[in-house]
Amino acid sequence: MSWDPDLDLEHGVLTNLQGITDRCELSRVEAQVTAIRIAELAADPPRGRFDLPHLQAIHYKIFADLYPFAGQIRRVRLGKAGTLFCLPEQVVAYAAVVFDHRTDPARLRELERAEVVDLLTALMADMVFLHPFREGNGRATRAYLQLLATAGGWPLSWTGLGRDDNARAGREACAGDVSLLRAILDRHLGT
């Protein structure tokens, strides 16, 4: 097995602050803890400019109770379903491209709803490929986008988003097809 400083090789789980060595138990605890932390973000969002450090602060808030790498840029190459995500050594440089004028809440206030959906779709697709963290990229990205949209005057709620649709939309976006991702955002963005 390749070098991965965040993996407990003996048990095949991510090294965690709870000392959990069973994959199912870790998944259960992770789901409970992160749901609470994500809900807390709405009441107490981290301050920032909706850039990479802001995303890191969001990730830290969600995962600090679980993982020692919370909020840190990953150090290993990762991929899913045949797609290699941004190389870890290129995350910071690519993030400078991803977090551009689109991540200014004031800009969102100037746009029509369809334009906001398009903007958030392109941003989310870029964030899926960026994949800056060892674990929890989807949850951190959705929390980030919810905070950004809300700050820009557009309520966004992920309630009812199915895990399968979300995963498929991410895979398709990495392959260049953002139609499902756009449909999901259109369905979850308020007016």
- The arithmetic mean of pLDDT across residues 146-168, rounded, is 93
| Domain 7-188 class, CATH top level | mainly alpha
For residue 191, what pLDDT band results from cuts at 50, 70 and 90?
confident
For residue 83, what pLDDT band results from cuts at 50, 70 and 90?
confident
Q: What is the pLDDT of residues 55-67, one digit of tens each?
A: 999 999 999 999 9
Provide the pLDDT for residue 4.
Answer: 85
41: closest CA among 151, 130, 129? 151
pLDDT at 42 over 90: no
Provide the pLDDT for residue 1.
Answer: 41
d(CA 31, CA 86): 25
d(CA 34, CA 139): 8
Which has more pLDDT, 70 or 170? 70
Task: Name the pTM for this structure.
Answer: 0.94
d(CA 4, CA 131): 16
Provide the pLDDT for residue 63.
Answer: 98
Enter the tokens of residue 171: 């895979």
Enter the tokens of residue 107: 């800009």
Q: What is the pLDDT of residues 93-143, one digit of tens each?
A: 999 999 998 899 999 999 999 999 999 999 999 999 999 999 999 999 999
